[in-house]
Chain A
Amino acid sequence: MAKILVIDDEEQLRDLLKQMLSRDGHDVTTAFDGVEGIRVFNEFKPDLVITDIIMPNKDGIEVITELLSKNPKIAIIAISGGRRAITAEFNLESAELLGVKGILSKPFTREQLREAVKHALGL
């Protein structure tokens, strides 16, 4: 169906997302941080990027800004669970203001993910 890049520093979630999306028929590639994410993006040229916000090296906000500055039309879904004083809500609201197509607060259900992907791909 669609080529999806998942960027998350949490291995378990990364694998889970890959599993769920692959089962829905998508071609999924993963990256463990922002730097790797951008590198993979340029190679893989996905239709959709699902990125965590708080990550080492290069966080999701930077990834979103960089990708959108190159192509404002690229579909991105931001996912976040927040950390300590930084709430998921703040991260996702920030991502939304930057222009992502969807947001998901961790934890989310399979159905929520499916809906968000569908919406972000304009299906």
Chain B
Amino acid sequence: MTAKSKKTALQNGTGRILFVSAGLMLVLMGGAVFFSPYLDSQLGNYKEVLFLGLAMVITCGSHWFLLETMQSPQTLSHTERVHATNEKLRYILNNITRQVESTLDNKGTSTGVINIVTDKLAVTLIECAEVLAERTAHLNATLQTGSNETLEMARETLLPLIDETADAITKYLNVGENVDAQLRERISKAQHLLLELRGALAEFAQQKPADSSAELSACIEQTGAMFDVHLKIDDFVNQQLEVVSNDTNESAIALVLHMRNLSDNAENLVRYINAAITKISAMDGGVNESVEFIVRIGHFIQEIPAKISADIHSIQGASGVIDGLSHLVDSIKEISFQTDILAVNASIQAAHAGDAGLGFKIVADEVRKLAVNSNQAAEMIETGLSEARKTIQDGLKFKFLDEVMQQMSEAARVMDVVQELENSHEDARQYYRTLFTVINQNNTKLAADIAEVLGSIQYQDIVRQRIERMQSATQRRNQLLLQFMEELERTNGHLADDFAEQMNIVLNDYIEQESYHGNSLNSDADNNQPPKFELF
């Protein structure tokens, strides 16, 4: 066994063993002092010295045992050591009892009173020792497992126990009331000593053990406090995990909903556009028909002037022929006039010739008739020609009117078609505007949904940071726990640092960190938070 381990053994919870052994020693000393008057009366001063010596030997022996106990190998657990100590204590006490008994037996002739007193005293001492041992074991157990309160309780039960011991002794002292005055004096002296002993014990119980248990209780207190904070950190971590879980959950749901919206919108739009394409081609058909008609009419109208000018041309040709014929009529008229003059002259010449000219006169008259007839014929031709011209001109007029009429009716249809076209155009305009508006609005919605989807993805980053803060806090906590364990081992519970306080710092840092990043999905409800957007 090394010096270090001895020192460790001494420090390691042996304060209570020292306390018990010192207590026992004092009780034995007291017992020795108390016994001495009886022995003195029987055996004289010599015996008293002997008894005291014996008591000292026993006390020293018990101390030796106790020290041996303290030096028990490190491999033994706390409980085992405590158990061993108790066993040895019991052994010592039995030993003491036997020694006292044998001392008294050796005396052989002691009076009944003394016998009773010593017997009872021995039993009381043994009982007290046993209770003491039991309480010590309990105390040890408490030190190992119990809380600060139970430790305090255990310490407090020691004091009444000592009182009990003292009371028991006093009570049994009263039994020997009939012992002579000298004896009484010694007894009262012993009582006085006992009282002093009790006082010393009480003081010892209050102070000495308080020192060692204060260390222990401080250690236990810190451990307890550390575990409290440990649990608090876990609680907070769990809260954050719940937030993280909710955030990711809600974010995932939001993503799914947005995606669903996107898909629905896209589907609706595709359906709508497909229907629109069908309608547009139907509408185009109507427009095409109208356009074809107008093109046809256009061609027709284009041809009209050419047709008219051709007609006019041919009629003008006819008029020319008629005019030519008119000149011919003039020629006929001229010829008939000349012929008439010729006939008149011939008739005059025939009259001059008398009967010889009679036949010639008949010819001349006939020629003159012919000239008149010719003139009449020419006039008839002229009338006929002018009538023909009039007829042609009239015919031209009528034909033109017909053309115009036809043109007018076609134009009237064109107007209808143009109206139809205008309607179609109006419809198409309305149609395309509606189409454009709907598609535009849906695109805006699609874009908004896409933007929201992209926004929702930010939660991955927020959650990642939250988990990182969580990891950092638990890491710091675990380091502190390791450090604490090492420190506990190294100092045997004489902790210099306030680990619980350090643990609290970890927790508070973590909580503070989280408060800087308050941004869960539902944090909008919290009005105490600074605004999410702020332009300086």
- Determine whether the beta carbon of B441 is less than 8 Å from that of A65: yes
A98 on interface, CB distance cutoff 8 Å: yes
Q: Name which residue of chain A comes closest to B427, CB basis.
A: A85
How far does the alpha carbon of A106 sit from the alpha carbon of B286 in the complex, in Å?
24
Contact of A85 with B441 at beta-carbon distance under 8 Å, contacts A90-B434, A91-B434, A94-B434 already known? no
Contact present for A98 and B437 (CB under 8 Å): yes
Give the Cβ gap from A93 to chain B, nearest Cβ, in Å.
6
Q: What is the distance, in angstroms, from A103's C-beta to the closest C-beta of chain B?
A: 13
Contact count band on A: 10 to 19
**CB within 8 Å of A: which of B313-340?**
none
B258-280: CB near A (< 8 Å → 1, else 0) gives 00000000001100100110010
Chain B residue at minimum C-beta to C-beta distance from A62: B437
Is B442 in contact with chain A by the CB < 8 A criterion? yes
A23 within 8 Å of B (CB atoms): no
A117 contacts the other chain (CB 8 A): no
Question: A84: CB under 8 A from chain B?
Answer: yes
B441 x A98 contact (CB < 8 A): yes
A52 within 8 A of B: no
A59 and B268 CA atoms in complex are apart in Å by 22
Q: Which residues of B contact A83 (CB under 8 A)?
A: 427, 430
Interface size on B, residues (CB 8 A): 22
Tell whether, in the assembled complex, residue A61 and residue B438 are in contact, meaning their CB atoms are under 8 Å apart.
Answer: yes
- A25–chain B nearest beta-carbon distance, Å: 33
Is B279 touching A94 in the complex (CB atoms < 8 A)?
no
Beta-carbon nearest neighbor of B286 in chain A:
A85
Cβ of B435 within 8 Å of any chain A Cβ, yes or no, is yes
Give the residue of A62, A65, A85, A99 whose beta carbon is less than 8 angstroms from that of B431.
A85
CA distance A28 to B209 in the complex (A): 92
In the complex, A120 has a CB within 8 A of chain B: no
Residues of A within 8 A of B437 (CB): 61-62, 65, 94, 98
Shortest Cβ distance from A97 into B: residue? B438
A1 in the interface, Cβ–Cβ < 8 Å? no
Is there an interface contact between B268 and A54, defined as CB atoms closer than 8 Å? no
- Asked if A86 is at the interface (CB within 8 A of a chain B CB), the reply is yes
**Per DSSP, are chain B's interface residues mostly helix, strand or loop, or mixed?**
helix
- Are A86 and B427 CB-contacts (below 8 A) given A94-B438, A97-B438? yes
- Identify which of residues 90-114 in chain A touch chain B, using a CB-to-CB cut-off of 8 Å: 90-91, 93-94, 97-99
* Given known A61-B433, A97-B442, contact A90–B275 (CB-CB < 8 A): yes
Q: Determine whether the beta carbon of A90 is less than 8 Å from that of B427.
A: no
Check B283 for interface membership: any CB of A closer than 8 A. Answer: yes
**Alpha-carbon distance A38/B442, docked complex (angstroms):** 22
Within 8 A of B (CB), among A47-94: 53-54, 59, 61-62, 65, 68, 83-87, 90-91, 93-94
Nearest B residue (CB) for A68: B441
Contact (Cβ within 8 A) A85 B283: yes
Max chain A C-beta neighbours (<10 A), residue from B424, B428, B441: B441
Closest Cβ of chain B to A95, distance in Å, is 9
Minimal Cβ-Cβ distance residue in B for A60: B434
CA distance A68 to B276 in the complex (A): 23
Q: Is the Cβ of A97 less than 8 Å from the Cβ of B279?
A: no
- Which residues of A are found within 8 Å of B283, using beta-carbon distances? 85
CB-CB under 8 A from B275, the residues of chain A are 90, 93
- A90 CA to B433 CA, complexed, in Å: 12
Structural contact, B438 and A85, CB atoms closer than 8 A: no
How near does chain A come to B347, taking the closest CB pair, in angstroms? 93
Question: Does the CB pair B268–A94 fall under 8 Å?
Answer: no
Query: What residue of chain A has the Cβ atom nearest to residue B276's Cβ?
Result: A90
Chain B residues with Cβ below 8 Å from A84 are 423-424, 427
Minimum CB–CB distance for B437 against chain A, Å: 5
The residues in B between 429 and 468 inclusive whose CB is less than 8 angstroms from any CB of A are 430-431, 433-435, 437-438, 441-442
Question: Distance in Å from the Cβ of A107 to the closest Cβ of chain B?
Answer: 21
When chains A and B are docked, how far (Å) is the Cα of A99 from the Cα of B264?
13
Contacts of B161 in A (CB 8 A): none
- A5–B427 Cα gap in the complex (Å)? 26
| CB proximity of A58 to chain B, nearest CB, Å | 11
Nearest CB of chain A from residue B524's CB, rounded to whole Å: 18
CB of B282 closer than 8 Å to a CB of A: yes
Distance from B119 Cβ to chain A, minimum over Cβ atoms (Å)? 99
Instruction: Tell me the B180-234 residues at the A interface (CB within 8 Å).
Output: none
Closest chain B CB from A104 CB (angstroms): 17
The answer to whether B431 touches A86, judged by C-beta atoms less than 8 angstroms apart, is yes
Contact A98 B438 (CB under 8 A): yes
* Distance of A98 Cα from B444 Cα, bound (Å): 11
Chain A's closest residue to B444 (CB) is A69
| Nearest CB of B to A109, in Å | 26
Identify which of A54, A68, A93, A97 contacts B430 (C-beta below 8 A): A54
Structural contact, B431 and A97, CB atoms closer than 8 A: no
Residues of B within 8 A of A99 (CB): 441
Instruction: Give the chain A neighbours of B424 by CB distance below 8 A.
Output: 84-85
With the chains together, A29 CA to B426 CA distance in Å?
A: 29
Q: What CA separation (Å) do A97 and B441 show in the bound complex? A: 9
Q: What are the 5 closest A-B residue pairs judged by CB atoms, nearest first?
A: A85-B427, A94-B438, A85-B283, A61-B434, A94-B434
19 contacts between A and B (CB under 8 A): A53-B434, A59-B430, A62-B437, A68-B441, A83-B430, A84-B423, A85-B286, A85-B424, A85-B428, A86-B431, A90-B276, A90-B431, A91-B434, A94-B435, A94-B437, A97-B268, A97-B441, A97-B442, A98-B441
New A-B pairs, 17, CB < 8 Å, besides A85-B286, A97-B272 = A53-B434, A59-B430, A59-B433, A62-B437, A83-B427, A84-B423, A85-B279, A85-B424, A85-B427, A85-B428, A90-B275, A94-B434, A94-B435, A94-B438, A97-B438, A98-B437, A98-B441
Give A contacts to B, CB under 8 Å: 53-54, 59, 61-62, 65, 68, 83-87, 90-91, 93-94, 97-99
